[in-house]
Amino acid sequence: DQQVKQNSPSLSVQEGRISILNCDYTNSMFDYFLWYKKYPAEGPTFLISISSIKDKNEDGRFTVFLNKSAKHLSLHIVPSQPGDSAVYFCAASSGGYQKVTFGTGTKLQVIP
Amino acid sequence: NAGVTQTPKFQVLKTGQSMTLQCAQDMNHEYMSWYRQDPGMGLRLIHYSVGAGITDQGEVPNGYNVSRSTTEDFPLRLLSAAPSQTSVYFCASRPTGYNTEAFFGQGTRLTVV
């Protein structure tokens, strides 16, 4: 039972344009959501997070939007840069101290 | 600052062999976890620990064993390796506190033949 789903395995975007990565979840108990970025042969690194009490969190070129009623979140990257090419994992947790559930990942390619 | 260190980086095992994947962190984090990454499956939690002496199972614990005798170390043991355990393994640690983010090691690529 995949509680966190990233339905697009891959995405290609032109440099300078917006990248939108989507994530859906099924567990209504999730109250904290994170995005991680992973380059080949490296471990994932934390990118941005959002609490369920918010619907938007912004950090530079990265913005995460949360739609609780739809159980959907998205990561926007504007403008996209070639260095953003990586696999992006959506993750969710409940209760603050509980284990984190990851999605299957979306491979983003930013074309120069 | 080393962060989370995993050894070895690569390993080939024969079916039935046992081995231990090492994980050490120098950030004094209470929470540590082991994940495996497989194509199309994302990162799946194997075992986790909320402090020295305390461990619990994740989503896919079968065939793996863990212990946490110190805050720094969280080794993952494969009891009798199977080809289905061919994967990339990541160790992660998180600081104590509400909704903290995880720091990952660079991974161990394990092949079981």
Which pLDDT belongs to residue A17? 98
Which pLDDT belongs to residue A97? 63
Nearest-neighbour CA in chain B from A40: distance (Å) = 10
Contact assignment for A43 to B43 by CB distance below 8 Å: no
CA–CA separation, A35 and A50 (whole Å): 9
CA–CA separation, A21 and B10 (whole Å): 31
Which chain A residues touch B if contact means CB-CB below 8 Å?
4, 6, 9, 32, 34, 36, 41-46, 49, 51, 89, 91, 93, 96-97, 99-105
Which pLDDT belongs to residue B62? 96
Residue B9: CB atoms within 10 A of its CB come to: 11
Which pLDDT belongs to residue B1? 65
The minimal CB distance from B45 to the residues A43, A49, A99 is found for A99
CA–CA separation, A33 and B55 (whole Å): 24
Report the range of poorest mean pLDDT among A40-44, A64-68, A96-100, B44-48: A96-100
Q: Are the C-beta atoms of B17 and B81 separated by less than 8 Å?
A: yes
The minimal CB distance from B42 to the residues A45, A99, A102 is found for A102
Nearest-neighbour CA in chain A from B103: distance (Å) = 7
In three-state secondary structure terms, A60 is coil
CA B65 to chain centre: 10
Write the CB contacts of B60 (distance below 8 Å, at least 6 apart in sequence): B36, B44, B45, B46
DSSP A27: -
> pLDDT tens digit string along B5-59?
999 999 999 999 999 999 999 999 999 999 999 988 889 999 999 999 999 999 9
CA–CA separation, A14 and B68 (whole Å): 46
Which pLDDT belongs to residue B56? 93
Contact assignment for A99 to B58 by CB distance below 8 Å: yes
Which pLDDT belongs to residue A36? 97
Report the range of poorest mean pLDDT among A78-82, B86-90, B91-95: B91-95
Interface mutation vs chain A, best among B10, B99, B103, B104, most A CBs within 10 Å: B99
pLDDT(A98) > 70: no
> pLDDT tens digit string along A3-61?
999 999 999 999 999 999 999 999 999 999 999 999 999 999 999 999 999 999 999 99
pLDDT(A96) > 70: no
CA–CA separation, B110 and B77 (whole Å): 12
Task: From chain B, pick out residues whose CB is under 8 angstroms from the CB of A6.
Answer: 42
Percent of chain B with pLDDT over 70: 99
pLDDT level of residue A95 (50, 70, 90 thresholds):
confident
Which pLDDT belongs to residue B27? 94
Strands B76-78 and B64-66 turn out to be antiparallel
- B99 — contact with chain A (CB < 8 Å)? yes
Higher pLDDT, A93 or B96: A93
